[in-house]
A = this chain, B = another copy of it.
Amino acid sequence: MILVVGQNSVWQKTYQFEEIVRGAVNRVSHHFESAAGKGSNVCRALAVYRIPSELHAYVGGANGTKFADSCHADGLATRFTTIAGETRNCVTLLEADGTMTELVEAAPQISDEEREHAHRAVRERIRAASMLAIGGTAMTGESDDCYLDFVHWAREQHVPVILDSYRSHGKRALDAHPQILKINRDELAELSGLSVDTEDDRVAAYRLLADRYDLRWIVITHGKAGAEGYNGHAVVAVTPPTVTAVNPIGSGDSVTAGVIAALVATGRRFDECWPDENVLRAAVLEGVACGTANCMNRKPGHIEPADLEWVRTECTVSHRTLQ
């Protein structure tokens, strides 16, 4: 079971418009709602691979009920902490010309009791997990060390960690040495303080971060350009085919799910297989295939197996062993 911590659940509304006129009354032409938030997106994408996961999230209020009902309708296993506050809405505005504008509400406040309940659940369940995935921002009222603690607990149980969060709580968690850091190209630049324009630039940034935080893998995404992976010895870059992006929300989370799926498929322990360039190559390829297949659908984390298969065969892979 993959234990997925995606604390900050989201009830996602997607509004389609011909065109939005600032300062005017804009009538929504199509309207779609779904559960979202990094955690549930990862779990939904993992389900396509029939990989069991367990989502740990805070849920509250009417949006929280919708979120929970939707996760359960999708067959996801969950360990929710019910909060007095309300799960946030995020609203995505899609215009006919492809412009996507996101409106993101702040995370709700949690109480001490709620926080302790959620942490206990992670601590209890980490033993049963084969991997821990942590994604997104923490809640308002969370301890500064929450993600750091989770990574510690995972390491105590020899459970490898993939971290998709690099600010505040996420950055702090790096001190506990998660095995895989999955961020995007801009975040790599911010975290390393280096230029990331060329592959050589990025290799320097990877080396810096891998040394600083004792990371095994760094996987970075770059929108339509795909993703790149680094394991200390090799760099693998995967470019997807051009597709019509219906809704890119959740694509980064689907990359995480694809990476996990490729690791599960090896049947080997991460500690043993991470230096293997072929494993890295398979993981980045599957990540890009899954992330690209995600954006071909309206629902975040929803992937059609046929899309996944097609994208996988159409990706371009470049692989360079470092000297």
Residues of A in contact with B (beta carbons under 8 Å apart): 13, 15, 20-28, 31, 62-63, 65-66, 89, 91, 93, 99-106
Q: In the complex, which residue of chain B has the Cβ closest to the Cβ of A11?
A: B62
Shortest distance from the beta carbon of A158 to any chain B beta carbon, whole Å: 36
B65 x A104 contact (CB < 8 A): no
B106 x A27 contact (CB < 8 A): yes
Which one, B28, B91, B99, contacts A106 given CB within 8 A? B28
Q: How far is the CA of A238 from the CA of B23 in the complex (A)?
A: 25
Q: How far is the CA of A100 from the CA of B103 in the complex (A)?
A: 15
B99 x A22 contact (CB < 8 A): yes
B24 x A106 contact (CB < 8 A): no
Q: How far is the CA of A27 from the CA of B8 in the complex (A)?
A: 15
- A62-B62, A91-B91 in contact; A104/B27 too (CB < 8 A)? yes
- A13-B89, A91-B91 in contact; A23/B99 too (CB < 8 A)? yes
Q: How far is the CA of A89 from the CA of B31 in the complex (A)?
A: 11
Residues of B close to A102: CB separation below 8 A: 24-26
20 A–B contacts, CB within 8 A, in A order: A13-B89, A15-B103, A20-B103, A22-B22, A22-B99, A24-B101, A24-B102, A25-B102, A25-B104, A26-B101, A26-B102, A26-B103, A26-B104, A27-B104, A27-B106, A28-B103, A28-B105, A28-B106, A31-B105, A62-B62
Residues of B close to A105: CB separation below 8 A: 15, 28, 31
Residues of B close to A28: CB separation below 8 A: 103-106
Q: In the complex, which residue of chain B has the Cβ closest to the Cβ of A106?
A: B28
How many copies of the polypeptide does the oligomer hold?
Answer: 2
Q: How far is the CA of A31 from the CA of B23 in the complex (A)?
A: 18
Q: How far is the CA of A23 from the CA of B89 in the complex (A)?
A: 18
Shortest distance from the beta carbon of A56 to any chain B beta carbon, whole Å: 23
Q: How far is the CA of A228 from the CA of B22 in the complex (A)?
A: 28
Q: In the complex, which residue of chain B has the Cβ closest to the Cβ of A21?
A: B101
B99 x A31 contact (CB < 8 A): no
Q: In the complex, which residue of chain B has the Cβ closest to the Cβ of A86?
A: B33
Q: How far is the CA of A33 from the CA of B38 in the complex (A)?
A: 25
Q: How far is the CA of A104 from the CA of B210 in the complex (A)?
A: 48
A100 x B23 contact (CB < 8 A): yes
Residues of B close to A22: CB separation below 8 A: 20, 22, 99, 101
Q: How far is the CA of A101 from the CA of B265 in the complex (A)?
A: 49
Residues of B close to A65: CB separation below 8 A: 62
Additional A-B contacts beyond A20-B101, A20-B103, A31-B106 (12; CB < 8 A): A15-B103, A20-B22, A21-B101, A22-B22, A23-B100, A24-B101, A25-B102, A26-B103, A27-B104, A27-B106, A28-B103, A62-B65
Shortest distance from the beta carbon of A185 to any chain B beta carbon, whole Å: 16
Q: In the complex, which residue of chain B has the Cβ closest to the Cβ of A63?
A: B62
Q: How far is the CA of A105 from the CA of B31 in the complex (A)?
A: 7
Q: How far is the CA of A224 from the CA of B106 in the complex (A)?
A: 33
